[in-house]
Structure 1
Amino acid sequence: MSIEKAGFKNSDSLTKWVKWFIYIQILVAVISLISGNMELQLLSNYENGIYTSQAQAVADGEANDARQGLIAIAYTVVFIISGIIILKWIYRANYNAQQLGAKDMQFTPGWSVGWYFIPIFTLWKPYQAMKEIWKASANSDNWSNEKVGSILPWWWFFWLANNFLGQAVLRMSLRAEEISELKNVNIVYQASDIASIILAFVTLSLVNSIYQSQIAHELGKDILSLK
Protein backbone atom coordinates (compact mmCIF):
# COMPACT_ATOMS: atom_id res chain seq x y z
CA MET A 1 0.00 0.00 0.00
CA SER A 2 1.42 3.36 -0.96
CA ILE A 3 0.18 6.71 0.28
CA GLU A 4 2.45 9.69 -0.33
CA LYS A 5 1.38 13.29 -0.68
CA ALA A 6 2.41 16.71 0.52
CA GLY A 7 2.12 16.52 4.29
CA PHE A 8 1.33 12.89 5.12
CA LYS A 9 4.42 10.69 4.65
CA ASN A 10 4.27 7.03 3.76
CA SER A 11 5.43 4.75 6.59
CA ASP A 12 5.13 1.35 4.93
CA SER A 13 8.85 0.72 4.55
CA LEU A 14 9.79 2.25 7.89
CA THR A 15 7.16 0.18 9.71
CA LYS A 16 8.43 -3.01 8.05
CA TRP A 17 11.98 -2.22 9.18
CA VAL A 18 10.76 -1.63 12.71
CA LYS A 19 9.01 -5.00 12.73
CA TRP A 20 12.02 -6.85 11.33
CA PHE A 21 14.37 -5.44 13.93
CA ILE A 22 11.91 -6.20 16.71
CA TYR A 23 11.87 -9.81 15.50
CA ILE A 24 15.68 -9.78 15.58
CA GLN A 25 15.55 -8.43 19.14
CA ILE A 26 13.31 -11.32 20.13
CA LEU A 27 15.68 -13.83 18.52
CA VAL A 28 18.73 -12.40 20.31
CA ALA A 29 16.84 -12.32 23.62
CA VAL A 30 15.83 -15.99 23.25
CA ILE A 31 19.44 -16.94 22.48
CA SER A 32 20.52 -14.90 25.50
CA LEU A 33 18.03 -16.78 27.70
CA ILE A 34 19.39 -20.14 26.55
CA SER A 35 22.96 -18.99 27.12
CA GLY A 36 22.01 -17.58 30.51
CA ASN A 37 20.63 -20.94 31.60
CA MET A 38 23.87 -22.57 30.49
CA GLU A 39 25.84 -20.04 32.54
CA LEU A 40 23.63 -20.60 35.59
CA GLN A 41 24.27 -24.34 35.33
CA LEU A 42 28.00 -23.69 35.08
CA LEU A 43 27.93 -21.52 38.21
CA SER A 44 25.96 -24.21 40.04
CA ASN A 45 28.57 -26.77 39.01
CA TYR A 46 31.29 -24.53 40.41
CA GLU A 47 29.32 -24.04 43.62
CA ASN A 48 28.65 -27.77 44.07
CA GLY A 49 32.24 -28.82 43.30
CA ILE A 50 31.30 -30.91 40.30
CA TYR A 51 34.61 -30.37 38.54
CA THR A 52 37.50 -32.70 39.35
CA SER A 53 39.80 -31.02 36.84
CA GLN A 54 40.77 -27.39 37.32
CA ALA A 55 41.82 -27.16 33.68
CA GLN A 56 38.37 -28.26 32.52
CA ALA A 57 36.69 -25.82 34.91
CA VAL A 58 38.80 -22.96 33.56
CA ALA A 59 38.18 -24.00 29.94
CA ASP A 60 34.41 -24.14 30.47
CA GLY A 61 34.49 -20.77 32.21
CA GLU A 62 36.41 -19.17 29.36
CA ALA A 63 34.06 -20.69 26.77
CA ASN A 64 31.10 -19.33 28.72
CA ASP A 65 32.62 -15.85 28.93
CA ALA A 66 33.36 -15.84 25.18
CA ARG A 67 29.80 -16.93 24.34
CA GLN A 68 28.23 -14.40 26.67
CA GLY A 69 30.51 -11.69 25.31
CA LEU A 70 29.43 -12.36 21.72
CA ILE A 71 25.77 -12.27 22.72
CA ALA A 72 26.31 -8.99 24.58
CA ILE A 73 27.89 -7.47 21.45
CA ALA A 74 24.99 -8.69 19.29
CA TYR A 75 22.53 -7.29 21.83
CA THR A 76 24.24 -3.91 21.78
CA VAL A 77 24.39 -3.67 17.98
CA VAL A 78 20.75 -4.71 17.54
CA PHE A 79 19.63 -2.36 20.33
CA ILE A 80 21.36 0.65 18.78
CA ILE A 81 20.12 0.01 15.23
CA SER A 82 16.56 -0.88 16.23
CA GLY A 83 16.49 2.05 18.65
CA ILE A 84 17.35 4.48 15.88
CA ILE A 85 14.73 2.99 13.55
CA ILE A 86 12.00 2.94 16.22
CA LEU A 87 12.69 6.53 17.25
CA LYS A 88 12.51 7.54 13.59
CA TRP A 89 9.17 5.73 13.37
CA ILE A 90 7.87 7.60 16.45
CA TYR A 91 8.92 10.90 14.88
CA ARG A 92 7.11 9.98 11.66
CA ALA A 93 4.01 8.76 13.52
CA ASN A 94 3.73 12.04 15.42
CA TYR A 95 4.25 14.05 12.24
CA ASN A 96 1.63 12.06 10.34
CA ALA A 97 -0.87 12.34 13.19
CA GLN A 98 -0.65 16.11 12.88
CA GLN A 99 -0.93 15.92 9.09
CA LEU A 100 -4.14 13.95 9.50
CA GLY A 101 -5.66 17.06 11.05
CA ALA A 102 -5.00 16.72 14.78
CA LYS A 103 -4.80 20.20 16.29
CA ASP A 104 -3.15 21.47 19.47
CA MET A 105 -1.02 18.41 20.11
CA GLN A 106 1.32 19.09 23.02
CA PHE A 107 4.25 17.12 21.62
CA THR A 108 6.11 17.96 18.44
CA PRO A 109 7.71 15.18 16.39
CA GLY A 110 11.10 16.20 17.76
CA TRP A 111 10.07 16.15 21.41
CA SER A 112 8.17 12.88 21.03
CA VAL A 113 11.68 11.46 20.51
CA GLY A 114 13.72 13.92 22.57
CA TRP A 115 12.10 13.07 25.90
CA TYR A 116 13.66 9.61 25.78
CA PHE A 117 17.03 11.26 26.43
CA ILE A 118 16.11 13.63 29.27
CA PRO A 119 16.80 12.13 32.73
CA ILE A 120 13.84 11.86 35.12
CA PHE A 121 11.39 13.15 32.48
CA THR A 122 12.04 9.97 30.49
CA LEU A 123 10.02 8.13 33.14
CA TRP A 124 6.71 9.54 31.88
CA LYS A 125 7.06 12.04 29.03
CA PRO A 126 7.63 9.48 26.23
CA TYR A 127 4.51 7.64 27.38
CA GLN A 128 2.47 10.85 27.22
CA ALA A 129 3.81 11.54 23.74
CA MET A 130 2.95 8.05 22.53
CA LYS A 131 -0.51 8.28 24.08
CA GLU A 132 -1.07 11.49 22.15
CA ILE A 133 0.07 9.82 18.92
CA TRP A 134 -2.31 6.91 19.54
CA LYS A 135 -5.31 9.16 20.20
CA ALA A 136 -4.60 11.54 17.32
CA SER A 137 -4.11 8.63 14.92
CA ALA A 138 -7.42 7.06 15.92
CA ASN A 139 -9.49 10.25 15.84
CA SER A 140 -7.73 13.37 14.61
CA ASP A 141 -10.89 15.50 14.73
CA ASN A 142 -11.54 14.95 18.42
CA TRP A 143 -8.36 13.26 19.62
CA SER A 144 -8.32 14.69 23.15
CA ASN A 145 -11.50 12.74 24.00
CA GLU A 146 -10.34 9.50 22.35
CA LYS A 147 -9.81 6.51 24.64
CA VAL A 148 -6.38 4.93 24.88
CA GLY A 149 -5.94 1.29 23.90
CA SER A 150 -5.13 -1.11 26.74
CA ILE A 151 -1.90 -2.11 24.98
CA LEU A 152 -0.36 1.30 25.67
CA PRO A 153 -0.05 1.06 29.49
CA TRP A 154 1.37 -2.46 29.14
CA TRP A 155 3.92 -1.21 26.63
CA TRP A 156 5.13 1.44 29.07
CA PHE A 157 5.10 -0.94 32.03
CA PHE A 158 7.40 -3.40 30.29
CA TRP A 159 9.54 -0.56 28.91
CA LEU A 160 10.17 0.68 32.45
CA ALA A 161 10.57 -2.84 33.85
CA ASN A 162 13.13 -3.72 31.18
CA ASN A 163 15.10 -0.56 31.89
CA PHE A 164 15.03 -0.99 35.67
CA LEU A 165 16.13 -4.62 35.39
CA GLY A 166 18.96 -3.63 33.04
CA GLN A 167 20.19 -1.03 35.52
CA ALA A 168 19.94 -3.57 38.35
CA VAL A 169 22.07 -6.04 36.40
CA LEU A 170 24.72 -3.37 35.83
CA ARG A 171 24.88 -2.36 39.50
CA MET A 172 24.89 -5.95 40.75
CA SER A 173 27.56 -7.10 38.29
CA LEU A 174 29.95 -4.34 39.37
CA ARG A 175 30.09 -5.68 42.92
CA ALA A 176 29.48 -9.40 42.36
CA GLU A 177 32.46 -11.55 43.38
CA GLU A 178 31.10 -14.69 45.03
CA ILE A 179 29.44 -17.43 43.00
CA SER A 180 26.14 -16.83 44.82
CA GLU A 181 26.27 -13.16 43.80
CA LEU A 182 27.06 -14.08 40.19
CA LYS A 183 24.06 -16.41 40.20
CA ASN A 184 21.84 -13.58 41.39
CA VAL A 185 23.13 -11.37 38.58
CA ASN A 186 22.38 -14.15 36.12
CA ILE A 187 18.81 -14.57 37.39
CA VAL A 188 18.07 -10.84 37.16
CA TYR A 189 19.63 -10.76 33.68
CA GLN A 190 17.35 -13.59 32.56
CA ALA A 191 14.37 -11.72 34.01
CA SER A 192 15.48 -8.76 31.91
CA ASP A 193 15.56 -11.00 28.82
CA ILE A 194 12.00 -12.17 29.52
CA ALA A 195 10.81 -8.58 30.00
CA SER A 196 12.57 -7.65 26.76
CA ILE A 197 10.78 -10.39 24.83
CA ILE A 198 7.36 -9.39 26.20
CA LEU A 199 8.15 -5.72 25.49
CA ALA A 200 9.05 -6.60 21.91
CA PHE A 201 5.73 -8.35 21.27
CA VAL A 202 3.76 -5.54 22.90
CA THR A 203 5.70 -2.97 20.84
CA LEU A 204 4.86 -4.89 17.67
CA SER A 205 1.17 -4.67 18.53
CA LEU A 206 1.45 -0.97 19.39
CA VAL A 207 3.30 -0.06 16.20
CA ASN A 208 0.88 -2.03 14.05
CA SER A 209 -2.18 -0.48 15.72
CA ILE A 210 -0.99 3.10 15.22
CA TYR A 211 0.17 2.40 11.67
CA GLN A 212 -3.15 0.78 10.72
CA SER A 213 -5.11 3.67 12.28
CA GLN A 214 -3.16 6.24 10.31
CA ILE A 215 -3.45 4.35 7.04
CA ALA A 216 -7.19 3.78 7.50
CA HIS A 217 -7.70 7.44 8.38
CA GLU A 218 -5.73 8.68 5.37
CA LEU A 219 -7.47 6.27 3.00
CA GLY A 220 -10.81 7.50 4.31
CA LYS A 221 -9.83 11.08 3.58
CA ASP A 222 -8.72 10.14 0.08
CA ILE A 223 -12.04 8.38 -0.63
CA LEU A 224 -14.05 11.37 0.62
CA SER A 225 -12.01 13.74 -1.55
CA LEU A 226 -12.93 11.72 -4.63
CA LYS A 227 -16.68 12.00 -4.02
Structure 2
Amino acid sequence: MTTYVYRDAAGLAETARWALYADSLVCAAAVAIALVQGPWALLYGDLAAAFGIVQLVTAVGSLILFLLWFYRANANVRAMGADGLTGSPGLSVAWFFIPIVFLFMPFVVMRDTWKASASPRDWQGQPTAPLIGFWWAAMLATHLAASFSFRLWLSGDYDVVEAVGVLDLISNGAGILANLLSVALMMRIQRLQVSPAHLSETFR
Protein backbone atom coordinates (compact mmCIF):
# COMPACT_ATOMS: atom_id res chain seq x y z
CA MET A 1 0.00 0.00 0.00
CA THR A 2 1.38 3.38 -1.04
CA THR A 3 1.86 5.96 1.69
CA TYR A 4 1.23 9.54 0.60
CA VAL A 5 2.72 12.63 2.24
CA TYR A 6 0.87 15.94 2.20
CA ARG A 7 2.77 18.60 0.24
CA ASP A 8 1.51 22.15 -0.06
CA ALA A 9 0.29 22.81 -3.62
CA ALA A 10 -0.20 26.57 -3.25
CA GLY A 11 2.91 27.44 -5.28
CA LEU A 12 1.92 25.12 -8.13
CA ALA A 13 -1.63 26.48 -8.10
CA GLU A 14 -0.40 30.07 -8.32
CA THR A 15 1.97 29.29 -11.19
CA ALA A 16 -0.72 27.36 -13.05
CA ARG A 17 -3.19 30.18 -12.47
CA TRP A 18 -1.01 32.75 -14.22
CA ALA A 19 -0.20 30.32 -17.04
CA LEU A 20 -3.94 29.80 -17.59
CA TYR A 21 -4.49 33.56 -17.62
CA ALA A 22 -1.71 33.93 -20.21
CA ASP A 23 -3.27 31.25 -22.41
CA SER A 24 -6.64 32.96 -22.08
CA LEU A 25 -5.14 36.21 -23.35
CA VAL A 26 -3.66 34.43 -26.36
CA CYS A 27 -7.03 32.77 -27.06
CA ALA A 28 -8.74 36.16 -26.80
CA ALA A 29 -6.21 37.61 -29.26
CA ALA A 30 -6.94 34.73 -31.66
CA VAL A 31 -10.67 35.41 -31.45
CA ALA A 32 -10.14 39.14 -32.07
CA ILE A 33 -7.87 38.53 -35.07
CA ALA A 34 -10.30 36.05 -36.60
CA LEU A 35 -13.25 38.40 -36.17
CA VAL A 36 -11.44 41.48 -37.51
CA GLN A 37 -9.27 40.00 -40.25
CA GLY A 38 -11.04 36.73 -40.97
CA PRO A 39 -9.94 33.11 -40.53
CA TRP A 40 -7.32 33.42 -43.26
CA ALA A 41 -5.18 35.65 -41.04
CA LEU A 42 -4.58 32.92 -38.47
CA LEU A 43 -4.01 30.22 -41.08
CA TYR A 44 -2.05 31.93 -43.85
CA GLY A 45 -1.29 35.47 -42.65
CA ASP A 46 2.23 36.90 -42.25
CA LEU A 47 2.26 36.22 -38.52
CA ALA A 48 0.27 32.97 -38.62
CA ALA A 49 3.27 30.71 -37.95
CA ALA A 50 4.64 32.82 -35.09
CA PHE A 51 1.22 33.22 -33.50
CA GLY A 52 0.60 29.48 -33.82
CA ILE A 53 3.83 28.75 -31.96
CA VAL A 54 2.91 31.18 -29.17
CA GLN A 55 -0.53 29.63 -28.86
CA LEU A 56 0.91 26.12 -28.77
CA VAL A 57 3.42 27.07 -26.06
CA THR A 58 0.85 28.76 -23.82
CA ALA A 59 -1.71 25.97 -24.29
CA VAL A 60 0.72 23.12 -23.60
CA GLY A 61 2.51 24.99 -20.83
CA SER A 62 -0.68 25.86 -18.96
CA LEU A 63 -2.00 22.31 -19.34
CA ILE A 64 1.23 20.81 -17.95
CA LEU A 65 1.20 23.14 -14.96
CA PHE A 66 -2.49 22.50 -14.30
CA LEU A 67 -1.94 18.73 -14.38
CA LEU A 68 1.11 19.01 -12.11
CA TRP A 69 -1.08 20.84 -9.62
CA PHE A 70 -3.83 18.24 -10.03
CA TYR A 71 -1.39 15.38 -9.40
CA ARG A 72 -0.33 17.08 -6.16
CA ALA A 73 -3.93 17.82 -5.10
CA ASN A 74 -5.00 14.24 -5.76
CA ALA A 75 -2.04 12.88 -3.81
CA ASN A 76 -2.79 15.28 -0.97
CA VAL A 77 -6.35 14.05 -0.41
CA ARG A 78 -4.94 10.53 -0.06
CA ALA A 79 -2.45 11.84 2.50
CA MET A 80 -5.37 13.50 4.27
CA GLY A 81 -7.01 10.12 4.80
CA ALA A 82 -9.32 9.66 1.78
CA ASP A 83 -9.74 5.98 0.87
CA GLY A 84 -11.39 4.33 -2.12
CA LEU A 85 -10.28 6.83 -4.76
CA THR A 86 -9.87 5.52 -8.30
CA GLY A 87 -6.36 4.44 -9.30
CA SER A 88 -3.46 6.65 -8.28
CA PRO A 89 -2.46 10.32 -8.71
CA GLY A 90 -0.50 9.34 -11.80
CA LEU A 91 -3.46 7.52 -13.33
CA SER A 92 -5.71 10.45 -12.48
CA VAL A 93 -3.53 12.59 -14.76
CA ALA A 94 -3.18 9.86 -17.40
CA TRP A 95 -6.97 9.72 -17.88
CA PHE A 96 -6.73 13.06 -19.70
CA PHE A 97 -4.78 11.39 -22.53
CA ILE A 98 -6.28 7.89 -22.85
CA PRO A 99 -8.60 7.53 -25.89
CA ILE A 100 -12.33 7.18 -25.22
CA VAL A 101 -12.08 7.30 -21.42
CA PHE A 102 -10.73 10.86 -21.62
CA LEU A 103 -14.32 11.83 -22.43
CA PHE A 104 -15.50 11.15 -18.86
CA MET A 105 -12.77 9.94 -16.48
CA PRO A 106 -11.12 13.35 -15.91
CA PHE A 107 -14.51 14.59 -14.71
CA VAL A 108 -14.78 11.61 -12.35
CA VAL A 109 -11.33 12.01 -10.78
CA MET A 110 -11.67 15.79 -10.48
CA ARG A 111 -15.09 15.34 -8.85
CA ASP A 112 -13.69 12.82 -6.37
CA THR A 113 -10.68 15.02 -5.59
CA TRP A 114 -13.03 17.93 -4.83
CA LYS A 115 -15.21 15.75 -2.59
CA ALA A 116 -12.23 14.26 -0.76
CA SER A 117 -10.78 17.74 -0.24
CA ALA A 118 -14.02 18.81 1.44
CA SER A 119 -14.33 15.72 3.66
CA PRO A 120 -11.46 13.20 3.43
CA ARG A 121 -13.05 10.67 5.80
CA ASP A 122 -16.52 10.73 4.23
CA TRP A 123 -15.97 12.00 0.70
CA GLN A 124 -18.40 9.60 -1.04
CA GLY A 125 -21.33 11.30 0.68
CA GLN A 126 -20.40 14.79 -0.47
CA PRO A 127 -22.46 16.51 -3.22
CA THR A 128 -20.98 17.12 -6.67
CA ALA A 129 -20.24 20.78 -7.28
CA PRO A 130 -21.88 22.13 -10.49
CA LEU A 131 -18.64 23.97 -11.26
CA ILE A 132 -16.96 20.65 -12.12
CA GLY A 133 -19.58 19.84 -14.76
CA PHE A 134 -19.29 23.29 -16.35
CA TRP A 135 -15.48 23.01 -16.29
CA TRP A 136 -15.45 19.64 -18.01
CA ALA A 137 -18.01 20.68 -20.62
CA ALA A 138 -15.82 23.67 -21.53
CA MET A 139 -12.71 21.48 -21.64
CA LEU A 140 -14.41 18.97 -23.95
CA ALA A 141 -15.73 21.71 -26.24
CA THR A 142 -12.23 23.18 -26.50
CA HIS A 143 -10.57 19.85 -27.25
CA LEU A 144 -13.16 18.53 -29.71
CA ALA A 145 -13.44 21.77 -31.69
CA ALA A 146 -9.64 22.04 -31.92
CA SER A 147 -9.32 18.40 -33.00
CA PHE A 148 -11.93 18.72 -35.76
CA SER A 149 -10.40 21.99 -36.91
CA PHE A 150 -6.92 20.47 -37.13
CA ARG A 151 -8.18 17.47 -39.11
CA LEU A 152 -9.92 19.74 -41.61
CA TRP A 153 -6.86 21.97 -41.94
CA LEU A 154 -4.64 18.96 -42.66
CA SER A 155 -6.81 18.17 -45.68
CA GLY A 156 -5.22 21.17 -47.42
CA ASP A 157 -8.52 22.10 -49.05
CA TYR A 158 -9.09 25.86 -49.23
CA ASP A 159 -12.85 25.26 -49.31
CA VAL A 160 -12.77 24.28 -45.62
CA VAL A 161 -11.17 27.53 -44.40
CA GLU A 162 -14.52 28.96 -43.25
CA ALA A 163 -15.36 25.77 -41.35
CA VAL A 164 -11.90 25.75 -39.78
CA GLY A 165 -12.39 29.38 -38.78
CA VAL A 166 -15.70 28.66 -37.08
CA LEU A 167 -14.24 25.67 -35.21
CA ASP A 168 -11.23 27.74 -34.14
CA LEU A 169 -13.55 30.44 -32.80
CA ILE A 170 -15.42 27.82 -30.81
CA SER A 171 -12.18 26.27 -29.57
CA ASN A 172 -10.64 29.59 -28.51
CA GLY A 173 -13.85 30.89 -26.95
CA ALA A 174 -14.41 27.67 -25.04
CA GLY A 175 -10.71 27.66 -24.14
CA ILE A 176 -11.03 31.00 -22.39
CA LEU A 177 -14.01 29.72 -20.41
CA ALA A 178 -12.25 26.42 -19.62
CA ASN A 179 -9.16 28.28 -18.37
CA LEU A 180 -11.14 30.57 -16.10
CA LEU A 181 -13.15 27.66 -14.72
CA SER A 182 -9.89 25.74 -14.16
CA VAL A 183 -8.60 28.64 -12.09
CA ALA A 184 -11.83 28.73 -10.07
CA LEU A 185 -11.60 24.97 -9.57
CA MET A 186 -8.00 25.12 -8.38
CA MET A 187 -8.60 27.95 -5.97
CA ARG A 188 -11.63 26.24 -4.47
CA ILE A 189 -9.89 22.90 -3.98
CA GLN A 190 -6.89 24.70 -2.51
CA ARG A 191 -9.13 26.38 0.05
CA LEU A 192 -10.85 23.10 0.87
CA GLN A 193 -7.57 21.28 1.44
CA VAL A 194 -6.49 23.75 4.11
CA SER A 195 -9.91 24.26 5.66
CA PRO A 196 -9.87 24.55 9.48
CA ALA A 197 -12.89 22.21 9.48
CA HIS A 198 -10.71 19.15 9.00
CA LEU A 199 -7.10 20.25 9.48
CA SER A 200 -6.86 18.89 13.02
CA GLU A 201 -8.36 15.54 12.00
CA THR A 202 -6.21 15.18 8.90
CA PHE A 203 -2.77 16.25 10.03
CA ARG A 204 -2.54 15.42 13.71
From 65, 68, 73, the equivalent of 1:88 is: 68
Deviations 1:11-65 (A, max 9, x none): 1111100100010011100111112123318x6xxxxxxxxxxxxxxxxx79962
From 2, 8, 11, the equivalent of 2:9 is: 11
Distance 1:120 1:220 in 2: 37
Structure-2 residue corresponding to 1:210: 189
The answer for unaligned runs of 5 or more in structure 1 is 1-5, 44-60
Q: Does 1:160 align with 2:124?
A: no
Identity %: 24
Distance 1:127 1:81 in 2: 21
By how many angstroms is 1:76 displaced? 0.8
Deviations 1:130-186 (A, max 9, x none): 1110110011111011111110011111111111100111122233534x5312211
Larger radius of gyration: 1
Q: Does 1:114 align with 2:94?
A: yes
Q: Superposition RMSD on alpha carbons, in Å?
A: 2.5
Corresponding pairs, count: 201
Secondary structure of 1:156 counterpart: helix
Counterparts in 2 of 1:45-194, with a 5 A limit?
65-175=45-155, 177-178=157-158, 181-194=160-173
Deviations 1:50-95 (A, max 9, x none): xxxxxxxxxxx79962322222101111122212211111110011
Contact kept in structure 2, 1:137 and 1:217, CA below 8 Å: no
Distance 1:63 1:108 in 2: 40
Output the TM-score relative to the length of structure 2. Answer: 0.89
